[in-house]
Homo-oligomer: A and B are copies of this chain.
């Protein structure tokens, strides 16, 4: 690949990204179904036709966004799960660190998460299935935390249910936090969530 080609490649990627960012903003405002391709291109300050030089359909943008989410949620998790492996960090602190990492991520990608959690269900079967898959995968990962916690306390709950509770709680609370425009102090939120989930899961 020549230097010239590489440059073009980069510009192309940047342009594609611009479309994604524009799409996210509009989807968030109007919802996927009520967003016109023209709305996206207007925000990206280009023409409708040009959009189709980068994506083969309106749905494709969404798919790109969604794949990003799926990957992000899992990779972030793995990145943060490392704290649980470090025996010098008590598990509660590890949970806190994990939640702090997630809080940061939600803050940065708020539109993406809003679309994922609020809108994806309203699309069609295909997306609902995809969404549930992503949630299930995430719940599987979360189960690892539960198991780690159990090494420190007596289990009293079905770990599957616990994991589901964690997922529902964390995501539900973070989404509410986004919607409230991050009104509540991040540290307070993280502390409460940690205390709540850890205490709910463990017993003395």
Q: Residues of A at under 8 Å CB distance from B?
A: 29-34, 114, 117-125, 128, 132, 135, 156-158, 161-162, 164-165, 167-169, 171-173, 175-176, 179, 184, 188-189, 192-193, 195-197, 199-201, 203
Measured between alpha carbons, how far is A29 from B124 in the docked complex, in Å? 8
A interface secondary structure, majority: helix
Q: CB-CB < 8 A to A128: which residues of B?
A: 31, 118
Instruction: Apart from A157-B195, A165-B172, A167-B172, list 4 A-B contacts with CB within 8 A.
Output: A161-B173, A161-B189, A162-B196, A165-B192
Q: Are A165 and B193 in contact (CB under 8 A)?
A: yes
Q: CB-CB < 8 A to A184: which residues of B?
A: 161
Q: List 24 A-B contacts (CB under 8 A).
A: A30-B125, A31-B128, A32-B122, A33-B123, A34-B123, A34-B124, A118-B122, A119-B122, A122-B123, A135-B176, A156-B195, A157-B192, A161-B188, A161-B192, A164-B173, A165-B173, A165-B196, A168-B168, A168-B169, A168-B172, A168-B173, A168-B175, A168-B176, A200-B200
